[in-house]
Chains A and B, each alone.
Chain A
């Protein structure tokens, strides 16, 4: 409840701070670069781990505690198959749904929402019902969502030409031509959404593998989104910005990099409905999808083992050996299991699964995610603070307010989760640059980005933690989703079954969860 006077005072102070800032060297902020044990991960590449000094017997080992690995565990539990261990590199499960917590709020380190699931996403819908996120169906047949988990209004705002507007489609200063192209573009996307391919399947859906194989549609996978837009005569600058933004948001790479099939999929695959929300609603929590990860991990208890680097998976007759380095005890442990689900990213899987031929054409988008603790909620002219706050002129994706879902009044302190896909240069170079930067250098970049939209915010920052995702998410470059390489990633390797959203070519909760569930289903017969 900011009064107008407070607001004027803040902006005045902000302007003064900006002027002062011209002469000031970069400030240091408390915080550190946390998470993603890249140093340990790199040891995998160099392959220096001691030989195992003990052996543990179990039925199943799940390698990787991201959403797909957790989905495997949940499914095995449901089948009454409780004799398994889940080995995770980090100390906590979550993968891309990792999250953190400080005195102010819980906050996400990666994925932070799930859109309304499609009816085809049966596994996700079942999970939502189980977790109480949906409770039955409304009069329109759609699920009734838990209102406190649905993202509160206002959802998004965009900073453009010096002020904020609601929504992420630019509206300030657009021409009639832009408006016509907006309309034409979204009409095309609705047509794609409602279209069925020659095989009768929906043109684009989630899970992605249920999409139509109509050659006319799959042809979109051979060109970039930018090329497709060009051939369709979409050249409105604000429209192209918006589409590029959306691709970067979901894939960590823009329209020049991702395939047109992936680009269209973003806009045309979602047909989820709710009895009590608009179709474009999403569910979210302060810790983002970390909430879902915690729900899935909670029943596992001691069967979930964090701080284990799995460096070797090999078939041995009827058994599979899983060799892992226990970071806490600094020794290697061999697990002898009847079956294994490898729920690690593919670039890791092909290093550790003995005899697995490497997949070519894997590209991963590197990301930087920062959690910024502030003592005052950011303001701005034109539109009120939203959940997702984006600046059109920024190379980052903007920030999400971790306390947005808080139902209590006036929490002035908050945590802003700042997302930044490092897609300006080639991923390999971006990774090297990212890892070379110090905490202070990252803070300078982050604050410089935020000051553009919130002059004076540097005075309100209490802490900045930074997480570098070297291989943040699979990048759906042309030819990847519907090419041969992805198809070769799907089948099991002996008694090693795979589960990861890499196998879908897009990194989203629904794909990871469905892959995990199906992997568990296909593992069970192998155990019999």
Chain B
């Protein structure tokens, strides 16, 4: 090959390398702010670490003395591998590593170091083929143009049309191709060229597979539907789990239905647990049905006398997520991995049927009765089973949708509990992200009126506790059918009431 041709090739690589390098930086920054929130901080620290790592790379380049070209091509392949798969890898591991930040910055460090090696090596490769002033001028010109291209391409084309994960793979592939072309053009000057080609092709195959199969984790339509950034989404055999973030507000959705917002979930969960459990000083054994986010368990663990909590949640993906993911375990204070807590993945109804244990406090924290399958978990048949698992002096609390929006639905659950021979105490609390929300305490015998609240609560106190049990006229009791498996009265009420509400 002519020297001129070679020069052009190497300068073209500068351009590609520069584009790729910045793209990886942007991807890391985006993922960090996406998954961890606080975009200014995340972008600053990621860019800082990345540039610092490039410095390390540049410094390390001095130790490359022989086989400059071979090392350059190897570095290309390594960047292709790490840079290309970083986004998909970070998304995939987000839910399963206990310390996401360590992983994130480790990857940023590796990519930055490798990218930092590129330009010095290239400069040295071109050294002697160009005059020094031309060399510096050309290399940096292409470098900065590439950067401009990347910074425009990324937000305008790549993220909207490809998604972050696929963009990563795409640019990894480009990086790999640069390496392969250089290898092909300078075949005779590279020792062990065959081995290098083999490793290059392997990396390329991996990236192409990744590109083809990477689920678009934050699909555009889904993110648009939520109006918030989707930081985690997974379809399990049971449901679609989605976690979104906007600023410091993280939200969990199951099948598109909001389960909690970090801004006010304490209101929901304090109200779920304490009006009942604070009146059961003798309680030792607690059963939580549903509630795989561990937030109800967090509230239960505030009582030192509770010896064990059994949590039965259908979806192992859900309990695993809330046992391992750092931000989520901070939120539930490691409730699901606490020694007093025993997590069982199973169907609540089937589990209750087989259960012979007796509990002092039972929490039924199921999704709203929006379909016939879930409606069964609010039926006389279900509450009869739950009652046999309840101590004679114990109590059960049920999350009961909104008594404001779905008044009949709420009182239907109350009627159903009465039909099972239970005494009830309906109550409600205001949870801004949900609206006015309802709960029912049910027990074989009337409960004491002495509330002994644990410390550290943000919503409930001795003063406002009693007012939860008062219902204004617009939410007052209405007469309803009893919800049975064979009439599913509740699902029918619920459908009508929420449909009417969402039309408004």
Contacts and interface: CB of A to CB of B under 8 A. Distances in A.
Partners in one complex: yes
A1 B353 CA distance: 22
Interface in A272-321: 276-278, 281
B380 interface: yes
Interface residues of A, number: 19
Going nearest first, the 10 A-B pairs with the smallest beta carbon separation are A153-B488, A408-B347, A147-B381, A150-B486, A407-B349, A152-B485, A408-B350, A277-B486, A409-B373, A147-B485
B484 A147 contact: yes
B255 A3 contact: yes
A152 B487 CA distance: 7
Interface string B470-504: 00000000000010111110000000000000000
Nearest to A412: B237
Interface string A395-415: 000000000000111101000
A1 B238 contact: yes
Interface in A143-200: 147-148, 150-154
Given A150-B485, A151-B486, A154-B488, A409 B372 contact: no
A384 interface: yes
Given A1-B373, A3-B256, A412-B237, 8 more contacts: A147-B381, A148-B485, A276-B486, A277-B484, A278-B486, A407-B350, A409-B373, A410-B237
Contacts of A412: 237
Interface in B313-355: 314, 347, 349-350, 353
A408 B488 contact: no
Contacts of B349: 407-409
Nearest to A409: B373
A301 to B, nearest CB: 26
B141 interface: no
19 contacts: A1-B255, A147-B379, A147-B380, A148-B381, A152-B486, A153-B487, A153-B488, A276-B484, A277-B486, A278-B486, A278-B487, A384-B372, A407-B349, A407-B353, A407-B382, A407-B485, A408-B350, A409-B349, A410-B373
B485 A409 contact: no
Given A3-B255, A147-B379, A147-B384, A409 B374 contact: yes
A5 to B, nearest CB: 9
B239 A1 contact: yes
A154 B485 contact: no
A280 to B, nearest CB: 10
Interface in A373-421: 384, 407-410, 412
Contacts of A148: 381, 485
Contact of B380 (A153, A276, A281): A276
B418 interface: no
A278 to B, nearest CB: 7
A3 B371 CA distance: 11
Interface in A98-120: none
Interface in A1-46: 1, 3
A281 B486 contact: yes
A300 B283 CA distance: 47
A409 B314 contact: yes
B219 to A, nearest CB: 10
Contact of B347 (A153, A277, A384, A409): A409
A148 B487 CA distance: 12
A412 B372 CA distance: 14
B240 interface: yes
A374 to B, nearest CB: 16
A320 B333 CA distance: 79
Contact of A154 (B240, B372, B379): B372
Contact of A3 (B238, B240, B374): B240
B31 to A, nearest CB: 25
B428 interface: no
Interface of B: 237-240, 255-256, 314, 347, 349-350, 353, 371-374, 376, 379-382, 384, 482, 484-488
Nearest to A385: B372
Chain B's interface: helix, strand, loop or mixed, by majority?
A: loop
A147 B487 CA distance: 10
A407 B487 contact: no
B376 A1 contact: no
Contacts of A409: 238, 314, 347, 349, 373-374
Interface string A254-282: 00000000000000000000001110010
A147 B486 contact: yes
Contacts of B487: 153, 277-278
B457 to A, nearest CB: 32
A277 B347 CA distance: 26
Contacts of A153: 372, 484-488
A152 B384 contact: no
Contacts of B484: 147, 150, 153, 276-277
A1 B238 CA distance: 8
Contacts of A410: 237-238, 373
A151 B485 CA distance: 8
A150 B379 CA distance: 13
Which of B237, B256, B371, B484 has the most chain A CB within a 10 Å cutoff?
A: B484
A281 B484 CA distance: 12
Which of B349, B371, B487 has the most chain A CB within a 10 Å cutoff?
A: B487
A409 B375 CA distance: 10
A278 B486 CA distance: 9
Contacts of B347: 407-409
Contact of B371 (A151, A276, A384, A407): A384
A528 B256 CA distance: 72
Contacts of B485: 147-148, 150, 152-153, 407
Contacts of B255: 1, 3
Given A1-B255, A150-B485, A407 B372 contact: no
Nearest to B374: A409
Contacts of B239: 1
Contacts of B256: 3
Contacts of A147: 379-381, 384, 484-486
A384 to B, nearest CB: 6
A150 B381 CA distance: 11
Which of A147, A153, A276 has the most chain B CB within a 10 Å cutoff?
A: A153
Nearest to A146: B381
A140 B55 CA distance: 86
A410 B237 CA distance: 8
Nearest to A4: B256
Contacts of B486: 147, 150-153, 276-278, 281
Nearest to B353: A407
A115 B479 CA distance: 29
B78 to A, nearest CB: 39
A278 B488 CA distance: 12
Nearest to B349: A407
Contacts of A384: 371-372
A412 B373 CA distance: 12
A108 B227 CA distance: 48
Contacts of B374: 1, 409
A412 B353 CA distance: 21
A150 B486 CA distance: 6
A278 B485 CA distance: 12
B376 A152 contact: yes
Nearest to B225: A5
B498 to A, nearest CB: 15
A412 B350 CA distance: 16
Interface in A339-353: none
A384 B375 CA distance: 13
Nearest to A384: B372
A154 B379 CA distance: 14
B48 to A, nearest CB: 40
A7 to B, nearest CB: 12
Contacts of A408: 347, 349-350
Contacts of B314: 409
Contacts of A281: 486
Contacts of A150: 484-486
Nearest to A405: B485
A152 B373 CA distance: 10
